[in-house]
Amino acid sequence: IMADDKDVLRDVWFGRIPTCFTLNQDEVTEREAEAYYLLLPRVSYLTLVTDKVKKHFLKVMRTEDVEEMWFEYEGTPLKWHYPIGVLFDLHASNSVLPWSITVHFKNFPDRDLLHCPSSSVIEAHFMSSIKEADALKHKSQVVNDMQKKDHKQLWMGLQNDKFDQFWAMNRKLMEYPTEEGGFRYIPFRIYQAMSDRPFIQKLFRPVSPEGNAYTLGDLLKEMYPAAITNDGEQKRYQVVIHGIEPLLETPLQWLSEHLSHPDNFLHICVVPTPSD
């Protein structure tokens, strides 16, 4: 039995990843640092939800040894501007929980990571994604019709983990003219762990010229055919959204309305099937 669509929205919003933060061995400390455990919201951003992590490790460090905090998983610097759930699905989806992240306060890898000097940078990035998504869905008409306080409500909803506050405004971004059958284009990004290219993002309509709804499978066939298993082949890749593998027959429009992140993008991770 399919859960109500509204339940899906709540499940997406309240998804959590149990995480264990450990201080990088090479950091200079005054005494040994204990690991710090935290449940991370899938839909938020690392630098937005790790103030407690920072406070915890600063207790054992001298201020002169502390620069901009950054995170790393098994040698890979973690991009704070990607939603947490995307980072997990992309790098650690088939590993044992809790997710083990290493914390650094030195040697910021500025060739790999964007700087994040304050939460206003996170807000700017988040709002920029929302605006880009609306440019694709509605030629920016809905987001431009909103007032500054409406934009603020979207950000505050995310920052303070307020589902109702967020969706009171976000539902406007999920509307479309009934005669169109869907958005103009679907905001999506496809991530592949083993690729030079950070993601694939192109124009894709949710409805065919004949009026048929395109599916997740149709999107992948067009954008990343290697992700689709042909008949008789062994399944090489998993297509993961919010930690689950939706059926490839799922209509893309439905996915966009229900499984997008708060930034209004559908983030799709293609990861190798684990070999047992």
Residues contributing to the site for another protein (CB under 8 A): 79, 81, 110-115, 124, 128, 131-132, 135-136, 140, 187, 196-199, 201-203
**Backbone phi and psi for residue 143, each to the nearest 5 degrees, phi listed first:** -70, -35
241, β-bridge pairs: 244
The residue among 125 and 172 lying less far from another protein, judged by its C-beta, is 125
Count Cα atoms within 13 angstroms, Cβ side, for 214: 20
3-state secondary structure of 22: strand
SS3 percent helix, strand, coil of the chain, rounded to 5, is 35, 20, 45
The residue among 196 and 210 lying less far from another protein, judged by its C-beta, is 196
Alpha-carbon distance of 215 to 231, in angstroms, equals 18
Tokens standing for 98? 């809790």
* Strand residue runs (E) in 42-98: 70-73, 76-77
Q: What is the DSSP letter of 215?
A: B
Alpha-carbon distance of 59 to 107, in angstroms, equals 20
Q: How far is the CB of 144 from another protein (least distance, A)?
A: 10
Q: How far is the CB of 78 from another protein (least distance, A)?
A: 13
Q: How far is the CB of 53 from another protein (least distance, A)?
A: 23
Q: How far is the CB of 150 from another protein (least distance, A)?
A: 16
**Backbone phi and psi for residue 200, each to the nearest 5 degrees, phi listed first:** -110, 125
The residue among 111 and 149 lying less far from another protein, judged by its C-beta, is 111
The residue among 80 and 167 lying less far from another protein, judged by its C-beta, is 80
The residue among 171 and 202 lying less far from another protein, judged by its C-beta, is 202
Alpha-carbon distance of 236 to 196, in angstroms, equals 19
Alpha-carbon distance of 93 to 44, in angstroms, equals 17
The residue among 35 and 124 lying less far from another protein, judged by its C-beta, is 124
Alpha-carbon distance of 246 to 164, in angstroms, equals 25
Q: How far is the CB of 249 from another protein (least distance, A)?
A: 26
Q: How far is the CB of 135 from another protein (least distance, A)?
A: 5
The residue among 2 and 203 lying less far from another protein, judged by its C-beta, is 203
Alpha-carbon distance of 195 to 184, in angstroms, equals 29
Q: How far is the CB of 201 from another protein (least distance, A)?
A: 7
The one-letter code for the residue type at 260 is: S
**Owner of token pair 């307020």:** 162
Q: How far is the CB of 198 from another protein (least distance, A)?
A: 4
The residue among 28 and 124 lying less far from another protein, judged by its C-beta, is 124
